[in-house]
Structure 1
Amino acid sequence: MREALIVWGGWSGHEPEQCARIVSEMLEGDGFKVYVENTTEAFADPSIRDLSLIVPIITMSKIEKEEVQNLSKAVESGVGLAGWHGGMGDAFRESVEYQFMCGGQWVAHPGNVIDYRVDIVKPEDPICAGLKSFPYRSEQYYMHVDPSNEVLATTTFSGEILPWVEGVVMPVAWKRRHGKGRVFYSSLGHVAKEFEVPEMRTLFHRGALWAARRENEAAN
């Protein structure tokens, strides 16, 4: 049986505990044994290198050096990493090692919760199969992103709120490698209720399963 670790905490506005329950049930439905922790100390445990998947849900907050180093080494060894919105993309602002692993970092959401459009740019990818571009209401994340990311979905800023970013095409969902590990990220999902949006839920669910280490891939 594959095992997954969910670690929640940080800013409560992103409803990390509620989201942890949703994702735990999702992964249990896929046959994972799921562990849920609410402290970054879980990242320092050497046994996380035996997991299939790690899901961080910790907006802002801080992480100790030994915690992020062990987390990074676990992913480098083949453990999958998957997350969404600020729970993964705006965690540990002072840790460039963490940001390097994730492939991006939130820097702004002009206008806060607004209506915008998400464009699927890799419809041939299994994570995006059957999905079409869709309207969305949430925070439209402006991010600093790694050019090595394989971008799956984007959004375009209108410039209505910040005229100087008009026309900027920003990645919304991507996948990447970190050593032997697979990393998936989606900027969608400000609060738990957004998991009721089929496209948001499908992107994360498929992305997490893509990232998770397969049973035939030995831990090392």
Structure 2
Amino acid sequence: MTRHALIVRGGWDGHAPVATTELFVPFLAEQGYEVRIEESPAIYADASAMAETDLVVQSVTMSEITGDQVAGLRDAVIAGTGLVGWHGGIADSYRASSDYLHLIGGQFATHPGKDPALRVGEPSDNYLPHSVEITDLGRSHPITAGIEDFVLETEQYWVLHDDLIDVLATTTHPTQPWQPWHRPVVSPAVWTRLWGAGRIVVATPGHTVEVLQHEAVRTMLERGMLWATRTA
């Protein structure tokens, strides 16, 4: 039976929503998905289209969503449609929608930067070497099993979240002389969320195409797409 994947992309161009989502189109096709691509969340309000969708892959940073659109996405997930995304394309989407935040379970707050004395006014000012550490749950989960802790040098997301997420990997923000916090802060880096009959997967790495091409990051997302896909 053919499975139906919907890629929804757009929002802030700095996260390259077209180039990053195109990375995964061949994988989805190879796995037998029929892929539909939309350039805005308007499709979420189409109940018949969403009912036929087994997996949503979203990459829409910031931007806006209407009440009927977020309701359509929520209802589809509750009915079994999977939802997967990375970085700002899912964890920093639709900032004005509390209903969307409730669905996802975690929200980007900031990405701490380098020592101010070392900043040069480029995006790299926010690129920090940091570890992504697989949790005990993650070591046995189909998405992350067999993946070892790894290091990235890119944006390190600080995430505000609730406790209904199942955290597969974390990253720790250390204390620094130029930062105001007083002890290390652990943020979820990869999590899943069960919502009705649906499954949600969020990975915070993914600021650039190059990050998504990292073997561990890409493997987690590809496995996440398969795991999140409608099961019944």
1:165: Cα distance to partner? Answer: 5.5
Looking at structure 2, the residues matched to 144 and 50 of structure 1 have their Cα atoms a distance apart, in angstroms, of 32
Tell me which residue corresponds to 2:159: 143
Tell me which residue corresponds to 2:139: 123
Q: How does 1:90-109 map to 2 (within 5 A)?
A: 90-109=92-111
1:163: Cα distance to partner? Answer: 4.5
Tell me which residue corresponds to 1:51: 53
1:81: Cα distance to partner? Answer: 0.5
Paired residues of 1:20 and 1:36 also in contact (CA < 8 A): no
Q: Aligned Cα RMSD in Å?
A: 1.1
1:40: Cα distance to partner? Answer: 1.6
Tell me which residue corresponds to 1:153: 169
For the pair shown, which has the larger CA radius of gyration, 1 or 2?
Answer: 2
Tell me which residue corresponds to 2:189: 172
Paired residues of 2:205 and 2:212 also in contact (CA < 8 A): no
Structure 2 unaligned spans of 5+: 114-125
Bigger mean CA deviation after superposition, 69-78 or 23-32: 23-32
Does residue 1:31 correspond to 2:45, yes or no? Answer: no
Alignment deviations for residues 55-107 of structure 1 (CA, whole Å, 9 cap, x no partner)? 11100000011111111100010000011100000000001111111111101
Paired residues of 1:49 and 1:75 also in contact (CA < 8 A): no
Looking at structure 2, the residues matched to 142 and 75 of structure 1 have their Cα atoms a distance apart, in angstroms, of 25
Looking at structure 2, the residues matched to 207 and 44 of structure 1 have their Cα atoms a distance apart, in angstroms, of 24
Q: Quote the sequence identity (%).
A: 39
Does residue 1:20 correspond to 2:21, yes or no? Answer: yes
Letter of the 2:100 partner, please give it: Y
Letter of the 2:94 partner, please give it: F
TM-score, with normalisation over the residues of structure 2? Answer: 0.90
Alignment deviations for residues 172-203 of structure 1 (CA, whole Å, 9 cap, x no partner)? 00111111100110001001121220011011
1:116: Cα distance to partner? Answer: 0.4
Tell me which residue corresponds to 1:87: 89
Tell me which residue corresponds to 2:121: none
Bigger mean CA deviation after superposition, 183-192 or 157-166: 157-166
Paired residues of 2:139 and 2:147 also in contact (CA < 8 A): yes
Paired residues of 1:106 and 1:143 also in contact (CA < 8 A): yes
